[in-house]
Amino acid sequence: MRIGIVSETYPPEINGVALTVHNLAAGLAARGHSIDLICPRQQQAYTDENGIEVLSVRGAALPRYPGLRFGLPAGRTLRQHWSTQRPDAIYVATEGPLGWSAVRTASRLGIPLSSGFHTRFDKYADHYGIGLTSPLVRSYLRRFHRRAAATLVPTEALAQELQLMGIPNVHLLRRAVDTQLFHPQRRDDDLRTAWGVNHTTPVALYVGRIAAEKNLELAVTAFRAIQQQVPQARYVWVGDGPARAELQAANPDFIFAGVQRGEALASYYASADLFPFPSLSETFGNVILEALAAGLPVVAYAEAAAREHLQDGKTGYCIDSGDSKAFIEAATRLASNPALIRHMGRAARQSIAGLSSDAVIRDFENLLRDMAQENLHEHTFATAHA
């Protein structure tokens, strides 16, 4: 099949949506499909990949997120492009202006389209002082996804939530993790030495966007509580974002490693000891799967990926949403007990080892194929009865 994929973020940008979309595109290309990828033009060049053709369109910088861009409306470009190189099916991963143009254009051209729900923009509004706009954002998201033949979500809980929002045809497409890349064997003693710790010192790790919506204040508070019990503990932060400069200035003892990729990122995971993740704004949270795969026990709220994959008391602690006291107590209990860290770390790795990215790609492929075939049958029926 020729499959159109529209996303306002894609590598070399680093975020959960970009990496998820890339995995889907690369997985489909590996199965012999032609991928027609459309995304905003970036300063860094895209890496050429077999089976993936890239059409870059106009974009603009995303406010408060240096290095990230969103796509501008591109209806005319998409109409011309898809009229001459028509996809069998289209997947729109993001709901920005480019995504809206794709939804409208596909509808006009009669091309079957699915969408992805990756980011809770309605929840983000509260963290940036514009909470009054949340109902408007939800209304927009509802209109956007109701125009798709299927909206793909990574968890059962999110599927139920979208159905209550009035979005029909919600389909579950689970996430996987590269268990060969993220592995406890990538633990690096030299890296720990660079952090100023020995093999017994507990190291907490944060990986992700360093931004207000990630509930960073609780992350800091939990670590300060850990230090009350284990003064030599260290906190390593991987990533970047609008809150980094202020956070770094306020916490000079934290280690900020910036953005890490590939094997370097995997070594950071494997070389740490626990993964406190206090975010309440995730639609999934790929970092939780990566941490578990690397053998890190996780402390997180019972949301998104944690709710689906974290086994409370066995692979970490799954905390009732919003209970900051319980979160802090769990993180402190774990960091203070090296034997518990090792025991939960082994269980964490075992719990995630069977996740198959091949199964996810097959499910996605089957959904797109069914959409394309149904659209062909409807067109054939309409033509025969015209």
Q: Where are the domains of the chain?
A: 2-176+356-384, 184-352
CATH for 184-352, options being 1.20.1260.10, 3.40.50.2000, 3.30.450.40, 3.20.20.70? 3.40.50.2000
pLDDT of residue 137: 85
Does domain 2-176+356-384 bear CATH number 1.20.1260.10? no
* Dihedral angle sign, alpha carbons of residues 251, 252, 255, 257: positive
pLDDT of residue 128: 44
Q: Which positions ≥6 away from 185 have C-beta within 8 Å? A: 270
Task: Find, among 284, 328, 281, 273, the residue nearest to 306 by Cα.
Answer: 284
Query: Within 13 Å and on the Cβ side, how many CA atoms surround 125?
Result: 12
How high does pLDDT run on average in the chain? 90
Of the pLDDT bands very low, low, confident and very high (cuts 50, 70, 90), residue 256 is very high
Least confident of 126-130, 331-335, 373-377: 126-130
Question: What are the angstrom distances between the C-alpha of 137 and each of 22, 126, 132?
Answer: 26, 11, 10
376/306: higher pLDDT: 306
Cis ω for the linkage preceding 97 (within 30 of 0): no
Least confident of 31-35, 72-76, 200-204, 350-354: 350-354
Topology alike, domains 2-176+356-384 and 184-352: yes
Of the pLDDT bands very low, low, confident and very high (cuts 50, 70, 90), residue 386 is low
pLDDT of residue 130: 45
Q: In this structure, what token pair is assigned to residue 253?
A: 């003892």
Q: Which value, to the nearest 10 degrees, does the dihedral of the CA atoms of residues 145, 150, 155, 159 take?
A: 60
Least confident of 32-46, 131-145, 241-255: 131-145
Task: Find, among 149, 150, 173, 170, the residue nearest to 161 by Cα.
Answer: 170
Task: Find, among 59, 77, 75, the residue nearest to 10 by Cα.
Answer: 59
Question: Are 145 and 91 spatial neighbours (Cβ–Cβ below 8 Å)?
Answer: no
Question: Are 142 and 163 spatial neighbours (Cβ–Cβ below 8 Å)?
Answer: no
Residue given tokens 């720990």 in the structure block: 192
